[in-house]
Amino acid sequence: MNILFVCTGNTCRSPMCEGFFRKLVRDAKTTDLHCQSAGISACAGAPASPNAEEVMKTFGVDLSGHRAAALSARLVAEADRIVAMTESHRRAILAQYPDAGKKLFLLNEFHSDPSVPRDVADPFGGNAEVYRTCFGEMKGALENLFLDLSKSNSKQQSS
């Protein structure tokens, strides 16, 4: 199963999601879940934000090799699930790729805390603490997404 995380520039939120999700997959020794990230307005090849790199190091995730990718028809077609950070990202994806609707979700739809806003605020331009807060908000949703996908993959494989 292929998961695609999407934000605006693919230098902050979606790389943090991709890196942490890969860590969850690696730690669980799962081989059937894969992920990538992209940005709706990405400058292809841009590195992850230094603050995103700094915050993710504390979770054992190395983003130093990350390079931004622009959202493309190929990435959308290859994805089994597309996970956007905000409602405006969802609308932009649907405007360009209307067939993606059935596999398109907001990250915070997977959050167990109903008080968490639907949109993940963009930390771009903020200090490391802003990034830490942003990732703290995304972490629970990513863990729940991983558990949901792991369960559904197990059911599909046993069928």
User: CA quadruple 137, 51, 92, 3: dihedral positive or negative?
Assistant: negative
Find the catalytic residue in 12, 13, 81, 90.
13
Report whether 37 contacts 5 (CB < 8 A).
yes
- Helix residue spans in 43-104 (DSSP H): 50-57, 73-78, 87-96
Q: Report d(CA 13, CA 65) in Å as an integer.
A: 16
Residue 130 near residue 123, CB atoms below 8 Å = yes
Neighbours of 27 (CB within 10 A): 10
Catalytic residue status for 80 = no
Q: Is 7 a catalytic residue?
A: yes
Choice among 22, 80, 119, 122 that is catalytic: 122
Per annotation, catalytic residue among 7, 12, 17, 134: 7
Residue 122 known to be catalytic: yes
Two tokens, residue 111: 């959050």
Rounded to an integer, what distance in angstroms lies between the CA atom of residue 92 and that of residue 74? Answer: 16
| Residues known to be catalytic | 7, 13, 122
